[in-house]
Structure 1
Amino acid sequence: MRRALITGITGQDGMYLAELLLGKGYQVYGLVRGQNNPKLPLLAEVVPGVTILTGDLLDLSSLMSALTAAQPDEVYNLGAISLVAYSWENARLTTDVTAGGVLNILEATRLYEHQAGTRVRFYQASSSEMFGKVQQVPQSESTRFWPRSPYAVAKAFGHHMTVTYRESYDMHASSGILFNHESPRRGPEFVTRKVSLAAARIKAGLQEQLMLGNLDARRDWGFAGDYVEAMWRMLQQDQADDYVISTGRMHSIRDLLDVAFTEVGITDWAPFVKVDPRFLRRAEVDALVGDSTKAHRQLGWWPRIDFTELVQMMVRADVDTITSARTAVA
């Protein structure tokens, strides 16, 4: 039985990855910062087979203890402060966790390998936000990074540190440069879930308006459940490497609104949506779209869920949640 340790286990990617690995017969350990994490009940409900360990990406000794307890064959570092807007408000904390945390888990893994006399395969969650002010369209593994937020800068640090540990210590350390990936488990602070939830609430008469930023921003959106399979496939390769994971198709916020509101029977969303300058980025990232040719060729990975199916899935889940809540009250 193979063993895996996942940081960021309570996020959408962590839960989908844990499901995938448990289905493949892994013994899965999840690292959480404290026992009062509000997402722990959901994690226990969705993936009850996960063993929870306490640790902090800012505390090297706690990471060493977690690795010793889990004795993993694979480590997936998904832990980060991942909201771009928050990174502007808390640039130092974002840097400490999203950048420095990568260094800590890499170093802990290296030390554990040395002490246990074993090899561990390591995955780092890099981000398409590193491309920022894009230098070519679409973006591939060779595209120059031009990050435009503290979050993106921190992710670029983590990405380069992973490459450095791979090249300096011969670690099996891979990075997935994942483009935007969403699901019904996405937090409501992210724009896709903000839209899906608002569409469901407006249809139900629970909300009147949806406040958004740049409606013309375009992204390459895929399904988180598809993308975690790519993570796993990276660690099954003989050689560690970096891979862009994307759908290769770009859509605007307007496209997102079209699909979400149509799903609840509202053909014109304009009366319900207002642009609020507070939600505009300080430095916009306009055209992120990935070229996953390398992942197709070397990993045999392809996305299964397209954009329309993804948004419909999210809206239906939010509609079901609202309906269930009303039924419970009644």
Structure 2
Amino acid sequence: MKKAFITGITGQDGSYLAELLLGKGYEVHGLIRRSSTFNTDRIDHLYKDFHDPQARLYLHYGDLSVSGQMTDLLYEINPDEIYHLGAQSHVRVSFDMPEYTGDVTGLGTLRLLEAIRRTGIKARFYQASSSEMFGAAPPPQCEDTPFQPQSPYAAAKVYAYYIARNYRQAYNLFACNGILFNHESPRRGETFVTRKITRGATQIKLGLRDKLYLGNLEAKRDWGFAGDYVEAMWMMLQQDKADDFVIATGETHSVREFAEKVFALLDLDYQKHVEIDPRYFRPTEVDILLGDASKARRSLNWEPKVGFDELIGMMTSADLELAQREKTLLDAGYACNLNPHLG
């Protein structure tokens, strides 16, 4: 039985990846911070859904900011595959917490790679790189596009990208960078703009709030489904040779278009409910990200299965159910967080 170790297992990507690997019969180990103890809702179902004793899930306490913990954990688990998804991953937050972002997102990757080198385990390593690294680079962006990071988060990810490549070249580690463009799902964190829109719009639909506050509506992104993208992660570590791949849909849509479609699905006019709040603008904005995943299609035989409209429908439907439960609780006299400025 193969063993996998996932940092960031309680996040959106970590939960979908754990699901995928357990379904393939892996023994899955996840890194969890003490502060995430009460934030395991994305993976709680995995304990109930996978009764097969050949598919096991274990969680380990640890922190990417502590070097010794990573070395001890990897020596104990001795995984075949390591998926490094853990990071401070919110771009806007990285401007408020640049040092923390650099430590966890950048140096956290180095600590994990150094732990692999020191223990001598033969694990294959996946680094979750980001399209934000391209920043101001003109589209479309592919593996050969020069990076122009426009945030502390993006700069930290560029460091992590190059240190993974360095360990691949210097120590012959099987280390891959997956440069994933924006990928969303009903499990996306509520402070990210797509989920913020679907949560806000469905609450407005049920009369739980009246306004939704957003930042730059003209920013354009290449949005895919997280479930499709974690499959690409796994595919990268099954290759004969380690390499770096852009994972994207090849389509770009604006935040305004995303909001318009979500509100339209609910028979609402977004212009009547969406207001701009300058606090959500970044000090340096990334105007457009559009990925060219030709290499992944060719070498991995990967392609996205869920399209833009289907993704929006999936997220809106899930959040409408959530809003209906909130309304039921509110009507019963329970308070819930309906802050339109969330995020």
Pair in the same fold by TM > 0.5: yes
Q: Which residue of 1 aligns with 2:10?
A: 10
Deviations 1:167-211 (A, max 9, x none): 000000000000000110011100000000011000000111111
Q: Specify the SS of the correspondent of 1:5.
A: strand
Asked if the contact 1:31–1:66 (Cα under 8 Å) also holds between the matched residues in 2, the reply is no
Q: How far off its partner does 1:38 sit?
A: 2.4
Q: Specify the SS of the correspondent of 2:302.
A: coil
Asked if the contact 2:206–2:327 (Cα under 8 Å) also holds between the matched residues in 1, the reply is no
Q: Which residue of 2 aligns with 1:131?
A: 134
Q: How far off its partner does 1:325 sit?
A: 3.8
Q: Specify the SS of the correspondent of 1:4.
A: strand
Amino acid at match of 1:201: Q
Amino acid at match of 1:204: L
- Measure the CA separation in 1 of the matches of 2:163 and 2:148: 17
Q: How far off its partner does 1:327 sit?
A: 4.4
Asked if the contact 2:135–2:148 (Cα under 8 Å) also holds between the matched residues in 1, the reply is yes
Q: How far off its partner does 1:320 sit?
A: 0.8
Label 1:35 to 1:154 Cα distance change in 2 as closer, same or farther (>3 A).
closer
Asked if the contact 2:199–2:323 (Cα under 8 Å) also holds between the matched residues in 1, the reply is no
Deviations 1:195-243 (A, max 9, x none): 0001100000011111111111000000000000000000000100000
Q: Describe how 1:247-258 pairs up with structure 2 within 5 A.
A: 247-258=249-260
Amino acid at match of 1:39: N
**2:166 counterpart of 1:164:** yes
**2:114 counterpart of 1:104:** no
Q: How far off its partner does 1:44 sit?
A: 2.1
Asked if the contact 1:18–1:47 (Cα under 8 Å) also holds between the matched residues in 2, the reply is no
- Measure the CA separation in 2 of the matches of 1:17 and 1:256: 25
Please provide the CA RMSD for this pair.
1.3
Asked if the contact 1:175–1:243 (Cα under 8 Å) also holds between the matched residues in 2, the reply is yes
Q: Which residue of 2 aligns with 1:142?
A: 144
- Measure the CA separation in 2 of the matches of 1:50 and 1:68: 18
Label 1:50 to 1:100 Cα distance change in 2 as closer, same or farther (>3 A).
same
Q: Describe how 1:41-190 pairs up with structure 2 within 5 A.
A: 41-47=41-47, 49-112=56-119, 114=120, 118-134=121-137, 136-190=138-192
Q: Which residue of 1 aligns with 2:321?
A: 320
Q: Specify the SS of the correspondent of 1:40.
A: coil
Asked if the contact 2:208–2:327 (Cα under 8 Å) also holds between the matched residues in 1, the reply is no
Amino acid at match of 1:216: E
Asked if the contact 1:35–1:54 (Cα under 8 Å) also holds between the matched residues in 2, the reply is no
Amino acid at match of 2:171: Y
Q: How far off its partner does 1:24 sit?
A: 0.3
- Measure the CA separation in 2 of the matches of 1:178 and 1:36: 24
- Measure the CA separation in 2 of the matches of 1:54 and 1:305: 34
Deviations 1:147-172 (A, max 9, x none): 00000000000000000000000000
Q: Which residue of 2 aligns with 1:40?
A: 40
Q: Which residue of 1 aligns with 2:311?
A: 310
Q: How far off its partner does 1:41 sit?
A: 4.3
Asked if the contact 1:16–1:225 (Cα under 8 Å) also holds between the matched residues in 2, the reply is yes
Amino acid at match of 1:125: A
- Measure the CA separation in 2 of the matches of 1:326 and 1:202: 11
Q: Which residue of 2 aligns with 1:217?
A: 219
Amino acid at match of 1:241: D
Q: How far off its partner does 1:35 sit?
A: 6.4
Asked if the contact 1:19–1:47 (Cα under 8 Å) also holds between the matched residues in 2, the reply is no
Q: How far off its partner does 1:77 sit?
A: 0.3
Deviations 1:33-69 (A, max 9, x none): 2165321244223455420011111111111122123
Asked if the contact 2:134–2:141 (Cα under 8 Å) also holds between the matched residues in 1, the reply is yes
- Measure the CA separation in 2 of the matches of 1:165 and 1:44: 34
**2:35 counterpart of 1:25:** no
Q: Specify the SS of the correspondent of 2:83.
A: strand
Moved more, 8-17 or 276-285: 276-285
Deviations 1:86-131 (A, max 9, x none): 100010000000000000001111222x2xxx41100000000000
TM-score of the pair, normalised by structure 2? 0.92
Label 1:260 to 1:41 Cα distance change in 2 as closer, same or farther (>3 A).
closer
Q: Specify the SS of the correspondent of 2:275.
A: strand
Q: Describe how 1:262-301 pairs up with structure 2 within 5 A.
A: 262-266=264-268, 268-301=269-302
Asked if the contact 1:259–1:312 (Cα under 8 Å) also holds between the matched residues in 2, the reply is no
